[in-house]
Amino acid sequence: MSDAGTRSYTVRLELVDEPGELLGALEPIADSGGNLLSIFHERGNVTPRGRIPVEVDLEATEAQFETIVDALRSSGVNVIRAGTERYSEELTVVLVGHLVETDLSDSLQRFRECGGVSVADLSLSAPAGTEAPSSARLRLVASEGRSSKALSAVREVAAEKGLRVVEPLTEGSA
């Protein structure tokens, strides 16, 4: 907690890769009295919807923060995540199989629904087209203590859809 009831918040956004989009997303923060702490603009990556992920850390009162999030959404900015929760664990998995045919976006949504987990990055490779087997590298970020739950969700969805999972080595693995 900072001075005068302000707190640190993190907002994860998806922006169209066009001039002025980042500035437009930052204006509601300034207009509502938020104080920027950092901006992580992942221009080299794209989300599954072909947009640029941007993470903004800021300080604001709770009321200011709610106003900022509402203003961002009203201006057409896709707010992926907004809040005080910080992700502290990261794991990378590879899925192999008929990812497109089995609805990759449904799979990603189900991973997110397990709680405290976000898909930070996705790289899809389908060299033989969308009707043939493909592979996807997923970088998942989880709140502390939620990595095993995230991995369980990945295993469950993969088993249901006939996908193979290449899992990260965990502590104590040989």
Q: What is the tens place of the pLDDT at every residue in 63-80?
A: 999 999 999 988 888 888
Terminal-to-terminal C-alpha distance of the chain: 42
Band of pLDDT at residue 44, cut at 50, 70 and 90: confident
Q: Which of 118, 14, 9 is nearest to 68 (CA)?
A: 9
Band of pLDDT at residue 116, cut at 50, 70 and 90: low
Band of pLDDT at residue 154, cut at 50, 70 and 90: very high
Return the pLDDT at 15: 92
Mean pLDDT value of segment 44-68: 87
In a domain, 114, yes or no: yes
Return the pLDDT at 40: 86
Note the pTM of the prediction, 2 decimals: 0.52
Q: Domain range holding 117?
A: 89-166
Query: Per the structure, how many domains does the chain have?
Result: 2
DSSP-based three-state secondary structure for 141? strand
In a domain, 131, yes or no: yes
Q: Which of 147, 47, 163 is nearest to 89 (CA)?
A: 147
Residues 6+ apart with CB under 8 A from 54: 12, 13, 14, 15, 22, 25, 39, 40, 41, 42
Looking at residue 65, its amino acid is F
Q: Which of 6, 26, 14 is nearest to 118 (CA)?
A: 14
Shared domain for 97 and 130, answered yes or no, is yes
Shared domain for 60 and 113, answered yes or no, is no
In a domain, 172, yes or no: no
